């Protein structure tokens, strides 16, 4: 199976495990887990090549480590990025003093006004380094990077979480904790 095909299956898995499980007639439980057998069956019904070894290959090869199996590999979930409401049971942790958010030029004015909002997702996504934030912004072009004063937010009582694949998450970044890089 080519790396390109695995990547296209990973995109499909993102759609199912973060946004629209109903596309293959499955449900996620409250913690975001999908039943592996049901997922394989549903994906095959949609003419996707899918079995446990293929799922294992996606989980292992995904460049952002987007997915995790439970211990006996009977369940799988996305590590972050959901628009479906799920509780990932993440513990609040102390963030670095500064985090970064990559976005696009046309959103800057609105972000300056309203802060960084989660929009369709469960959380605002923040990066630990400028390089990663740049990659996030580059998905849309005209990349702009915000510096987030996460240390000050934490002192002021805001909660931060780190997903299993290292993305920093919070509910909202008010504009007073922001600066352009
Ligand atoms: C913007 C990808 C106007 C925000 C990435 C972003 C990331 C506002 C967009 C992950 C706003 C939402 C998440 C405001 C926020 N006014 N625009 N007040 N507040 N925005 O895709 O952070 O490949 O939901 O700047 O690498 O771009 O999917 O969030 O541009 O880690 O695993 O609204 O998705 O990872 O877009 O990306 P998104 P994001 P995956």
Contact 168, 162 (CB under 8 A): yes
What residues does each domain of the chain span? 3-78, 99-180
Q: What secondary structure does DSSP assign to 87-104, as a single string? A: ---PPP-PPPS-EEEEEE
Would the pTM of this model clear 0.85, i.e. be above it?
Answer: yes
58-75 per-position pLDDT tens digit: 999 999 999 999 999 999
Query: CATH top-level class for 3-78?
Result: mainly alpha
pLDDT at site 1: 80
Q: Which residues line ligand 1 (CB under 6 A)?
A: 64, 66, 81, 103-104, 107, 110-111, 114, 116-117, 119-121, 125, 136, 167
CATH 3.20.170.30 fits 99-180, yes or no: yes
93-138 per-position pLDDT tens digit: 999 999 999 999 999 999 999 999 999 999 999 999 999 999 999 9
Going from the Cα of 124 to the center of ligand 1, the distance in angstroms, rounded, reads 7
d(CA 96, CA 75): 32
């Amino acid at each position: 199976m080519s790396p390109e095909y695995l990547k296209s299956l990973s995109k499909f898995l993102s759609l199912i495990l973060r946004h629209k499980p109903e596309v293959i007639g499955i449900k996620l439980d409250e913690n975001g887990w999908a039943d592996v057998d049901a997922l394989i069956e549903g994906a095959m019904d949609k003419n996707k090549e899918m079995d446990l070894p293929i799922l294992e290959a996606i989980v292992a090869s995904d460049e952002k480590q987007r997915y995790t199996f439970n211990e006996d590999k009977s369940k799988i979930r996305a590590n972050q990025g959901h628009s479906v409401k799920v509780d990932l049971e993440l513990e609040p942790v102390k963030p670095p003093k500064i985090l970064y958010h990559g976005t696009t030029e046309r959103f800057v004015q609105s972000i300056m006004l309203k802060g960084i909002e989660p929009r369709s997702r469960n959380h605002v996504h923040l990066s630990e380094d400028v390089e990663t934030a740049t990659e996030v912004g580059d998905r849309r072009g005209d990349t702009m990077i915000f510096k987030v004063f996460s240390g000050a937010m934490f002192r002021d009582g805001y909660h931060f979480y780190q997903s299993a694949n290292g993305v920093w998450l919070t509910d909202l970044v008010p504009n007073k904790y922001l600066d352009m890089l």
